Structure 1
């Protein structure tokens, strides 16, 4: 009988001492979302065939090579306060230079910190196929809505 009580007590101690698994289920650092619109009718979403998309001074983003889409989701550099992208369409390229401030926000013990980008601006943009743009939101704290509208 003492043996069973000892086993039960040890089992209870083991169960109580276990920590729950921390799994991060939340989204972490959000991406910058660009949505493409028709330049003549600024309420009409217009798809674009992207020949290539590249981060200036970095790599080509293979997910966006020869792809038709109405929006793109871009990562901003966490180690800098500027990021530049070159978007090519119909064999013409435009380069967009983004500036921003970064604010690190604690999410949870399992997720750690995420970056929230604030004061988003476009320093410069070449106008080959891009006619104009509109910044909808200067704070990037989610990637569910478009932050910038690109008119082409």
Structure 2
């Protein structure tokens, strides 16, 4: 009888100490969302023809596409990220500057990075102007930047 009691006790302890599997379903570090607009009609979105986006002189993220919005990552180990945006034969260099803040999301997701005090600098070859919609980038629900061309 003592064997069964001991076995039952071990089984109860083992079952009560198990943890449920954690799956991260919450949002993590956001990417930058850029929407392109017509400079002559600022309310109308306008696709960029033959758009090529290159990150930090490395790989092309977009190559020769026609899009009216893009999603690009920001550098998590630096306080700035540089991209080259090429439309046809014209190229603009954009430098995104920000402060990084790590925020605890949950045990299953860990931390995410929020980008604060977001600013940008650009050459104006084909990009005519831009508007930063929010200086804190913490989600991917809306466009963070409007670029007019």
Which residue among 64, 80, 83 is the counterpart of 1:82?
Answer: 80
Cα distance in 1 for partners of 2:9, 2:64 equals 64
TM-score (norm 1): 0.88
RMSD (Å) for aligned C-alpha atoms: 1.8
Residue 67 (structure 1) shift: 2.0
- The 1-side partners of 2:5 and 2:65 are apart by 66
Residue matched to 1:120: 118
Task: Map Cα deviations across residues 81-135 of structure 1 (whole Å, 9 max, x no partner).
Answer: 111110111222111111111111111111111110001111x211111111111
SS at match of 2:42: coil
Q: Secondary structure at the match of 1:15?
A: helix
Aligned pairs for 1:29-44 (under 5 A) are 29-44=29-44
Match of 1:148 among 133, 141, 145: 145
CA distance in structure 1 between the partners assigned to 2:44 and 2:95 by the alignment? 25
> Is the 8 Å Cα contact of residues 38 and 151 (structure 1) preserved in structure 2?
yes
| Pick aligned residue for 2:133 from 132, 136, 141 | 136
CA distance in 2, matches of 1:50, 1:15: 59
TM-score by length of 2: 0.90
Q: CA deviation at 1:71?
A: 0.9
Which whole-Å CA distance do the structure 2 matches of 1:140 and 1:125 have between them?
Answer: 19
Structure 1: tracts of 5 or more residues without a match: none
- Distance in 2 (CA, whole Å) between partners of 1:142 and 1:2 is 58
Q: Retained in 1: the 8 A contact 2:51–2:67?
A: no
SS at match of 1:65: strand
Count residues in correspondence: 149
